[in-house]
Amino acid sequence: MELGKVISTPDSPSTRKFCFTLNRDARVRRGQFVQLNLPEGKLIGRVSDLRKTNRYFTNPENLAEPELYPTWEWEFLVADVTPLGFWTQEGLQGSLFPPSPGEPVLEPDPEILQKLFGFVQDGLWLGQLLHHPVEARFNLTRLLQKHLAILALSGAGKSYLVSVLIEELLERQLKPAVIVIDPHGEYASFSQDPNYAGKTRVWRIEDIKLKLNPILKKAEMLFDLTPSQARVLEKLVQKELTPSELLQLIEEWEGRQETKDALLGMAERLIRLGIFSLRDQPEIREIAREGQLSVIDLSGTIDWFKKQLVVEHFASKLFSARREGLIPPFLLVIEEAHQFVPEGTKRKEALAKGILQTIAREGRKFSASLCLVSQRPKRLDTTILSQCNTNIILRITNPYDIKHIAESAEGITSDVQEQIAGLPVGHALVIGEAVNQPVFIKVRKRRSRESEKGRTLEESLREWEERKRQKAEDAKAFM
C-alpha cells in the first residue's frame, strides 16, 4: 500500500532525513516503519515525528475573515522519517544517497522487517512489532546467553513480561531450567495454573534450610569479625554444625572474653535467622531441573539479611553446579534486582552482589544466564547492568533512570529516550544483542494465571469489606 510521496523541505531529503505527505486514506503513527523502492535498493526508514500543515492558516488575515474556501483541502499530514539504510541481499547497508522528491512511500514488506530486526520463526514469542503485523520472536541464544535486563517503573508490566518469557521457555522442545528469586511472591501463581502446575515448584522462605558451614567460611565479611576472631572460629568448626551446636562450642571455649562475646553474638544471630540445618533444603538438583520453573518465594520475611543470604547461597550453588556440568543450562531471574546488586554499596551490605557479578561476567561460557528485573535502574550496579547485553525497557519516567540506562546500553538516542517516558503499559523497547536494530513491541497476552499480588486497590478494598461482612455474619450465627 502506498502511504504518500516524498516532498522537498529546506533540510530534506538528505541521507539523515526525509519527509513525505500522507495520502488521505493512509494511517501512519510515530515509530512506524516505511519503505521506498529505489534503484540503489529498498530504503527502510522509521517515522520519527508527524506534523500537520495548512497553508490557508499561515496568513493571519485569513483568521480575521470568514472562511471563503474549504480549508480542510489545504490541510496535509507530514511525516518526518529517519532512514535506517538500504535493505539488500547482504542485509542493511548505510544510507549513502537520499531519495528524490515525489518518490512513493510504501508500507514495508513484513519479511524484510523480520530479517531487519533478527526475528526467527522458532524464537521466543514475546509480542508483536508495533504498527505492523509481524510477530516479535527472539532467538533464545541471542536474548539470554549474554544476559537480559527488564527495566520499568512499578505497574508498567515487568512481571507480566517475565511471565510471558517463562511460558515460552517452559513450552519449548529444548527447555532450560528457570529459577526465579521472588521477593513478593508474584510467580507462585504458576503452581496454581493447570497448564503449568506440573512444571512448577515453589519454595517459600519457611521451607528453605541452608548448611551452616559454607556461611561460616564467609563469617569475617558477613559479621564484621576481626581476622583473629575468624581464625578462632575456623579452629572451632571441624565438622558440620547447627547454630545451636556452634553456640555450645563457643560457650565451652576458654579464650579471650572479647573474642568469645563477638562469636556468641554471631551464633545467636544465626539461631534467630532460623534457616540453617545440617543439609541444604532444597538441594540444588531439585531446583535446577530441565523444563522446570523453580520459584524461591521470599515474601514470607522482611529480614533483609536473610533474603541476601538465601540469594547468595543459591546463586553460588547454581553457578558452581553448572560449571561442573551437574545441572542443565539455566536462567536465573532476579526480581527487584536493585536490592541485591545495588550501585556503590559495600559487599557486606549486598551479600549476593559478588556472585551475581561473577555470573554476569562468566556465565555465558557455561550457559548460566541472568535476567535482572528492576524498577530503579539508577540503583542497579552499572558494571552488572552493562554485562546484560539485551535490555527490554518498558515505561520509565524518571530522567535519572533513563540517563543511567542510556549510559549502559548503546543505541538509545534522544528520540528513543523521549518515547520511553511515554510508553503505554505493556509496550516495550528491545535493544541490544537480541535484535539487529532497537525495536518497540507490544507484549503478547499471557496464557498463565495472573498473580493475585497484582490486584487493584479497589479489589483489595472489596475483599476486605467481604471478609468483615463474613466475620460479622459468622459471629451473629454463633450467638
Q: What is residue 65's predicted lDDT score, i.e. its pLDDT?
A: 66
pLDDT tops 70 at residue 347: no
Is the pLDDT confidence value at 417 over 80? no
Rounded distance between C-alpha atoms, residue 112 and residue 142, angstroms: 19
Regarding beta strands 124-129 and 135-138, do their DSSP bridges make them parallel or antiparallel, or are they unpaired? Answer: antiparallel
Q: Could you give the CA distance from residue 391 to residue 372 in angstroms, rounded to a whole number?
A: 9
Residue partners of 219: CB distance under 8 A and separation at least 6? 225, 230, 233, 266
Q: Please report the DSSP string for 120-180 in residue order.
A: -TTSEEEEEETTSS-EEEE-HHHHHTT-EEEE--TTSSHHHHHHHHHHHHHTSSS--EEEE
Rounded to the nearest angstrom, the gap between the alpha carbon of residue 145 and the centroid of all alpha carbons in its chain is 14
Q: Rounded mean pLDDT of 110-126? A: 94
Per DSSP bridges, beta strands 390-393 and 148-151 are parallel
* Calpha distance 140→158 (Å, rounded): 19
17-21, 393-397, 442-446, range with the lowest pLDDT? 393-397
**Distance (Å, rounded) from C-alpha 393 to C-alpha 107?**
26
DSSP state, 370?
E
**How far apart (Å, rounded) are the C-alpha atoms in residues 295 and 204?**
8
Average confidence (pLDDT) over 278-293: 94
Mean pLDDT of 9-18: 94
Across 281-285, average pLDDT: 94
Exposed e or buried b for every residue in 138-171, given b needs 16+ CB within 10 A?
A: bbbebbbbbbbbbbbbeebbbbbbbbbbbbbbbe
| 119-150 pLDDT tens trace | 999 999 999 999 999 999 999 999 999 999 99
Confidence of residue 455 (pLDDT cuts 50, 70, 90): low
Q: Are 57 and 72 in contact (CB under 8 A)?
A: no
Beta partners for residue 277, in sequence order: 211
Order across the sheet with 439-443: list the strands: 135-138, 124-129, 439-443, 427-432, 390-393, 148-151, 368-374, 330-334, 177-182, 293-297, 200-204
DSSP, collapsed to helix, strand or coil, labels residue 203 as: strand
Please tell me the predicted confidence (pLDDT) of residue 66: 59
pLDDT in tens, 57-85: 777 766 666 566 666 677 889 999 999 99
Q: What is the dihedral of CA 383, 389, 393, 399, to 10 degrees?
A: 40
pLDDT at 45 over 90: yes
The closest alpha carbon to 405, from 388, 424, 422, belongs to 388
Q: Does residue 113 surpass a pLDDT of 90?
A: yes
**Beta-carbon contacts of residue 29 (< 8 Å; ≥ 6 apart):** 47, 50, 131
What's the half-sphere exposure (Cβ side, CA atoms, 13 Å) at 378? 9
For the domain made up of 135-208+282-448, the CATH class stated in words is alpha beta
User: What digits encode the pLDDT tens for the residues 177-192?
Assistant: 999 999 999 999 999 9
Are the C-beta atoms of 322 and 367 separated by less than 8 Å? yes
Residue 320 pLDDT class (50, 70, 90 cuts): very high
Mean pLDDT, rounded, of the chain: 89
Query: What whole-number distance in Å separates Cα of residue 153 and Cα of residue 110?
Result: 32
pTM of this structure = 0.86
pLDDT at 1: 87
User: What is the structure's pLDDT at 220?
Assistant: 84
> Cβ distance 392 to 430 under 8 Å?
yes
Percentage of residues of the chain with pLDDT beyond 70: 94
- 210 near 310, Cβ under 8 Å? yes
Helix (H/G/I), strand (E/B), else coil: 14: coil
Cβ proximity of 233 and 263 under 8 Å: yes
Residue 304: strand, helix, or coil: helix
